[in-house]
Amino acid sequence: MLKFRIERAPSPVWMRPLLPLLAVLITFVVTSVFILLANANPLTAYYYYLTSPFTNRVSMIEILVKATPLILTGASVTIAFASGYWNIGAEGQLYAGALAAAWIGTVVGGWHPVLAILAMLLGGFLAGMVWASIPALLKVKLAVDEVVTTLLLNSVIVFIISALLNGPWRDPVSGWPQSPTIADSAVFPKLIPRSRLHLGFVVAVVMVLLIWFILSKTPLGLRMRASGLGQEAARFMGVNIQRTMLIAALLSGGIAGLAGVGEVAGIHFHLIDALSNGLGYTGIIAATLGGLNPFGAGVAAIFLGLLDTGAQSVSRSLGVPIFLGNVVQSTLLLVTLGVFMLQNYRIRRV
Amino acid sequence: MFAVEMRGIVKRFGDLVANDHINFELKQGEVHALLGENGAGKTTLMRILYGLYHADEGSIFVNGQQVSITSPKDAIALGIGMVSQHFTLVPPLTVAENVVLGYNPGIRLNPQQIQRRVAEAAERFGIEVKSDALVRHLSVGERQRVEILKALYRNARVLIMDEPTAVLVPQEVDILFETLLRLQREGLSVVFISHKLNEVMTICDRITVLRNGKNVGTVFKQDVSQSKLAQMMVGRETFGVTRQGERIQGEPVLRIENVSAVDNKGLPALKSVSLEVASGEILGIAGVSGNGQSELTHVLSGTMKPTSGKILVDGQDITGADPATITCAGVGRIPEDRHGGVVGELTVAENMTLETLDEYTQNGMLDRKRMLEYTNTLIEEFQIKARPTDRARTLSGGNMQKLILARTLARQPKVVLAAQPTRGLDVGATEYVRKKLLEQRERGAAVLLISEDLDEIMALSDRIAVIYEGKIVGILDAHEATPEKLGLLMTGAREVVSHA
Amino acid sequence: MDFNFFIGLIAATFRVATPLIYGTLGELFCERAGILNLGIEGTMFIGSFVGFAVADATGSLWLGVLAAVVSGMLGGLIMSLFAVRLGVNQHVSGLGTTLLLTGLSLFLFRVVYGIQRIQPAIKPFQALSPFDDLPVLGPIFQQYALTYIAILLIPLAWWVLYRTNFGLSIRSVGENPEAADAAGINVYRVRTIALMIGGGLMAVGGAFLSIGQLGSFTFGIISGRGWVCIALIIFANWLPSRVLWGALLFGLIEALQLRLQTTGLKLPYEAFLALPYIVTIIALAIAGRNATGPAAVLKPYKRE
């Protein structure tokens, strides 16, 4: 009888560059089952999935539009996770930023656009930070597990926004639960005319560079990585874990807040309660796929943007529900993690 | 026919060959020593026999039958039991629950029933232990008895003991040996893993010596001498590193005054500890593992706050200060667990400089060039086999310890706190570390050596303090300290008023 | 507010607490085996969907519950593949599981039902009323069968954990997997089974919401209840006997909100919806450092 055993030993070197490809391939094979369930041909679906976004200018730009908030939430999660702070709250911090932007956007009517937009960015960043500061302070002052509190606070801010949208902010004309439209001066300028790509993309790229700079070039960044990679040893070596984590958590919250600002000021121009629908959680996928490297997370975010755009066109042309995008993204996360763990193993016959 | 026969066992960990075609034979009813220095492959070989590792090559025979052992479950079914160096007990469970774990028939678990069964078994095997006690309340010696009982309860005919005396005081060792010899008379075969020659000569019938993963030879006790065994073990003459010369009467540099602390469960772990360490002396802290050494180390390292008392370095109060402040005050710290002092995923250079990062910062940015230069200097000075850009986790235990020594000692600290500095190191690295500590003493540093290795304490210390249940129960001058005296103190048998 | 108000409140409290009891007991099995299962939110979600879809297709509510259990066990299996077998970080594999199961539920819902103007609905479970004749207190016992089962599951969970050999195995792999392994226990298998039991229980909690109460499946049906269960575990100090009290407290607040809404109180109902979450956070802050779970939680087990 053939018996196989998995044991710990590095897999052959030639396999390593192939691993991400292998992950994508496995993901497509696994998810093709669901495409079949939706009465579509998986090969056609994946052909559309990967090629249709590139068939015209609009949808190519749309990839970056979809990627913009993901690059930001990906960067947000990256700096937190890299510091050993498990911020699962990017979703809520994004909403906090969006909430601030929706309010500031209505009060900066007469301002010069530069000032108005700066106020939006600053306000959103601060709001994200404030919302992130609650679990962060509980963590560093009282040792309360941040995973649970950030998750709970995600729900809380959605309730707060829902209360505002159904109460004082309800659109008086249409009666829809959406905030008043923001002033023109607060609207993010378009990067490319006749497209949806907005200033937020530039902000996202700047944030990726900032995170990279902090993590790899500054003493603070080295302390952050030390506390993320070996908290006890870092503490022994004099790293102030509490302070380091707090800074990471606040930066993380601020950057997630910027993602909310971008969605309000660049896409929707008002606040709605389904504004995010999981952008914060997808940011966790981006950060993880990127191996907690800011550039890696950025690339992963653009790939996830491609998957989103592809899911839309597959939905339009083949009638496969758009939620296929969520299934593919999450499967890719799990499969990638699994494949990278397998990198440390080798299968042997016994 | 042998109780156990292992033929041509090979086990590799990456590039390291831990077991290199080892043959090993265990006769029925013998106590067989597996002798070798740390890293010789003793534990690896026995973990293969117990199913915790899989051999890359080779075969195993039990009572003449070739067997395949892929997990401890298989080993237990073949009548093999193992008592590891680090106990494999579940602390919040009772003794009875630990003993029957994975070996209780049926579905139901009846607490009274298993307690009765375990108590009966304990009586039958002559092992004194309370079956309804929680394991976390037991002393180390009691826990070891539970481990032995656990193996016997599973009808072990072969018992593997991995360095069983490392955690015991001399008096407990006597009890253990009595138990083993009695069980041997009843037909049990024992594999006794050790690196201590005198123990091996006391209790074993035959001795197999391993060196660098190879079997150097199997001998009868009566055919060899200790020095012959030592030669087989290390392949050269040993030259123990010991303290030379009398203690210089220096000024006290480190003062610990009535320090108390609680452990991470909130229970008292240090009870009003007072010590003084003068410059130019090594003060050794002897004691059985778990008597407050960890907490003392943490409190002095700044990773745990004392509940009361004072710690002074050269008059500067560092009570409850954070690690950075304590380092600045001139305390060099060697942690009890190397991996707790090094971030494995960071580079050697980053680990070397993290403690004093401000010195490598220019205009708010890291000065990588200077970090590398400094690290290179230390790598050369301390003969570390690594490059500055290597990840620290890729270093061997000895090199990792050298990294910590280099980081700590290069700053010429006034006080050196060395906790378990040679634990798990091979002979070469151990000698290196001990030499470095003695150099610090010569230089005039005040060295506090906390170690569970009594030989190490006796070889290096000018004075020896014994810690028992969080209290210093005696301080002896090196020349008046004997293993027997220390052993009595370490078991709390009596307190000695300090006259050192 | 009269006496009947309180009776009604108590009855509603048990109703609201039911899915939380299932979810928390499910998470309890996972965490006692050493796995923090953040897949709970998604597992409750897929249980909710599968329960509804199968009940709708077969016309049998109990078949729906059974199917939900199977879906939850599969969810536990997915979690175990990554968190147990492959040793992936438990936070990320749990969230990945939640995202996958949530996405899958939404996808399959659209595949089965398409986009409809009217929410597909079924006739939900009827409450039992064993003591209808009982004066005054009768309404308290007007509960769903699933609520009664949930309450009976608490002592059962205790019995499994503390009075069976399998429970001893679960507790030992959650505290010290090395010791369990050395004692001949297959750590992977025990953890996998614990995750599957846990997943099955969580899914019933989800199914209760869709086919027990609402009779329909909405996208916001779980809305963070899984995360609440994660918090309730800490509340319960990882003991089955205390699961009920946390769940009831949480249920009480939500039930109070439902009641007060109908009395026309001028407060946004969202304030009450958010209240249990805030109370939980405050409680966690008070418990703080004292909250320590099984020692091996979050630590993947690998030999060597």
- Would the pLDDT of C174 be above 70? yes
Q: Which residues of chain C neighbour A330 with C-beta distances below 8 Å?
A: 96, 99-100, 102-103
- Residue B364, burial from CB neighbour count under 10 angstroms (0-12, 13-18, 19+): exposed
- The chains found to touch C (3+ Cβ pairs under 8 angstroms) are A, B
The total domain count for chain A is: 1
Distance between CA atoms of residues C182 and C162, nearest Å: 21
From C107, C281, C289, residue closest to A321, measured CB to CB: C107
Whole-number mean pLDDT of chain C? 90
For the segment B413-449, what is each residue's pLDDT rounded down to a tens digit?
999 999 999 987 877 888 899 999 999 999 999 999 9
pLDDT at position B498: 45
A236 touches chain B (CB under 8 A): yes
Question: Is residue A222 in a domain?
Answer: yes
Task: Based on the fold, state whether residues B119 and B268 are members of the same structural domain.
Answer: no
Backbone φ, ψ for residue C287 (5° rounding):
-65, -40
Is C82 in contact with A337 (Cβ distance < 8 A)? yes
Give the domain-ending residue among B172, B200, B234: B234
3-state secondary structure of B101: coil
B80-114: burial string, b at 16+ Cβ within 10 Å, e else:
bbbbbeebbbbbebbbbbbbbbbbbeeeebeeeeb
- Would the pLDDT of C131 be above 80? no
Query: Where are the strands (E) in chain A, listed by range?
Result: 4-8, 345-349
pLDDT at position B493: 66
For the segment A176-195, what is each residue's pLDDT rounded down to a tens digit?
888 989 999 999 999 998 88
Question: Is residue B496 in a domain?
Answer: no
* Torsion angle defined by CA atoms of residues B173, B174, B175 and B181, in that order, rounded to the nearest 10 degrees: 110
Question: Is residue B415 in a domain?
Answer: yes
Mean pLDDT, residues B161-165 taken together: 90
- Would the pLDDT of B484 be above 90? no
B96 touches chain C (CB under 8 A): no
Contact A285, A330 (CB under 8 A): yes
With bands split at pLDDT 50, 70 and 90, how would you rate the model's confidence at C110?
A: very high
Is C102 in contact with A326 (Cβ distance < 8 A)? yes
Task: Based on the fold, state whether residues B215 and B266 are members of the same structural domain.
Answer: no
Q: Which residues of chain C neighbour B91 with C-beta distances below 8 Å?
A: 175-176
A19 touches chain C (CB under 8 A): no
Task: Based on the fold, state whether residues B170 and B292 are members of the same structural domain.
Answer: no
From A162, A163, A330, residue closest to C103, measured CB to CB: A330
Task: Based on the fold, state whether residues B345 and B406 are members of the same structural domain.
Answer: yes
* Gap between the terminal Cα atoms of chain B: 58
Among the residue ranges A81-90, B260-269, C203-212, the one predicted with the least confidence is B260-269
Instruction: For C231, name the nearest residue in chain A, comparing CA atoms only.
Output: A148
Give the domain-ending residue among B234, B260, B291: B234
Joined together, the tokens standing for residue B431 give 């000698």
> Pick the residue with more confidence: A53 or C65?
C65
The candidate with the shortest Cα–Cα distance to B447, out of B301, B251, B279, B256, is B279
Mean pLDDT, residues B77-93 taken together: 92
- Would the pLDDT of A1 be above 50? no
Contact B323, B298 (CB under 8 A): no
Q: Which residues on adjacent β-strands are paired with residue B57?
A: B10
For the segment B16-28, what is each residue's pLDDT rounded down to a tens digit?
788 999 999 999 9
Question: Domain residues for A211?
Answer: 67-280
A226 touches chain B (CB under 8 A): yes
Among the residue ranges B238-242, B364-368, C248-252, the one predicted with the least confidence is B238-242
pLDDT at position A10: 60
Question: Is residue B495 in a domain?
Answer: no
Mean pLDDT, residues C54-69 taken together: 96
Q: Which DSSP symbol is given to B272?
A: E
From A151, A325, A337, residue closest to C93, measured CB to CB: A337
**Which of B343, B357, B407 would best serve as a mutation to test chain A binding (most A beta carbons within 10 A)?**
B343
Contact A275, A95 (CB under 8 A): yes
Question: Is residue A344 in a domain?
Answer: no
Task: Based on the fold, state whether residues B362 and B214 are members of the same structural domain.
Answer: no
**Which of C162, C165, C289, C303 would best serve as a mutation to test chain B binding (most B beta carbons within 10 A)?**
C165
Distance between CA atoms of residues A233 and C15, nearest Å: 48
Question: Is residue A125 in a domain?
Answer: yes
Is B107 in contact with C164 (Cβ distance < 8 A)? yes
Distance between CA atoms of residues B451 and B454, nearest Å: 7
List all residues of chain B from 41 to 70 with a beta carbon under 8 Å from chain C: 50, 52-53
**Side-by-side strand order, sheet with B471-477:** B331-334, B415-419, B446-450, B282-286, B463-468, B471-477
Q: Which residues of chain C neighbour A341 with C-beta distances below 8 Å?
A: 86-88
Distance between CA atoms of residues C179 and C32, nearest Å: 15
Domains present along chain C, CATH in parentheses: 9-116+143-290 (1.10.3470.10)
pLDDT at position A126: 98
Distance between CA atoms of residues C51 and C71, nearest Å: 9
Question: Is residue B499 in a domain?
Answer: no
Question: Is residue B242 in a domain?
Answer: no
Task: Based on the fold, state whether residues B258 and B384 are members of the same structural domain.
Answer: yes
Pairing status of strand B316-317 against strand B308-313: antiparallel
Mean pLDDT, residues A268-279 taken together: 91
**Which of B69, B76, B101 would best serve as a mutation to test chain C binding (most C beta carbons within 10 A)?**
B101
Q: Which residues of chain B neighbour A218 with C-beta distances below 8 Å?
A: 364-366
Question: Is residue B247 in a domain?
Answer: no
Question: Is residue B111 in a domain?
Answer: yes
Q: What does the radius of gyration of chain A's CA atoms come to, in whole angstroms?
A: 21
Looking at the complex, report in whole angstroms how far the Cα of residue A152 sits from the nearest Cα belonging to chain B: 28
Question: Is residue A244 in a domain?
Answer: yes
Task: Based on the fold, state whether residues B276 and B161 are members of the same structural domain.
Answer: no
Question: Is residue B25 in a domain?
Answer: yes
- Would the pLDDT of B252 be above 70? yes
Is C108 in contact with A37 (Cβ distance < 8 A)? yes
Mean pLDDT, residues C92-106 taken together: 95
Q: Which residues of chain A neighbour B350 with C-beta distances below 8 Å?
A: 222, 226
Question: Is residue A173 in a domain?
Answer: yes
Question: Domain residues for B382?
Answer: 252-490
Contact B82, B76 (CB under 8 A): no
Q: Which residues of chain B neighbour C186 with C-beta distances below 8 Å?
A: 71, 73
Mean pLDDT, residues B452-477 taken together: 91
From A5, A10, A222, residue closest to B354, measured CB to CB: A222
Contact B217, B209 (CB under 8 A): yes
pLDDT at position A3: 53
Whole-model pTM above 0.80?
A: yes
Looking at the complex, report in whole angstroms how far the Cα of residue C120 sits from the nearest Cα belonging to chain A: 17
Mean pLDDT, residues C111-116 taken together: 88
C302 touches chain B (CB under 8 A): no
- Would the pLDDT of A8 be above 60? no
Contact B216, B234 (CB under 8 A): no
Give the domain-ending residue among B234, B262, B295: B234
Which CATH number is B301's domain given?
Answer: 3.40.50.300
The total domain count for chain B is: 2
Question: Is residue A16 in a domain?
Answer: no
Whole-number mean pLDDT of chain B? 90
pLDDT at position B500: 41
Task: Based on the fold, state whether residues B222 and B269 are members of the same structural domain.
Answer: no
Joined together, the tokens standing for residue A214 give 């902090």
Distance between CA atoms of residues B294 and A293, nearest Å: 36
Q: Which residues of chain B neighbour C32 with C-beta distances below 8 Å?
A: none
Tell me which H or E stretch contains A161: helix A146-166
Among the residue ranges A121-130, B42-51, C108-117, C270-279, the one predicted with the least confidence is C270-279
**Which of A231, A323, A345 would best serve as a mutation to test chain C binding (most C beta carbons within 10 A)?**
A323
From B54, B70, B343, residue closest to A233, measured CB to CB: B343
The candidate with the shortest Cα–Cα distance to C23, out of C247, C241, C217, is C247
**Which of C82, C100, C254, C257 would best serve as a mutation to test chain A binding (most A beta carbons within 10 A)?**
C100
B301 touches chain A (CB under 8 A): yes
Question: Is residue A236 in a domain?
Answer: yes
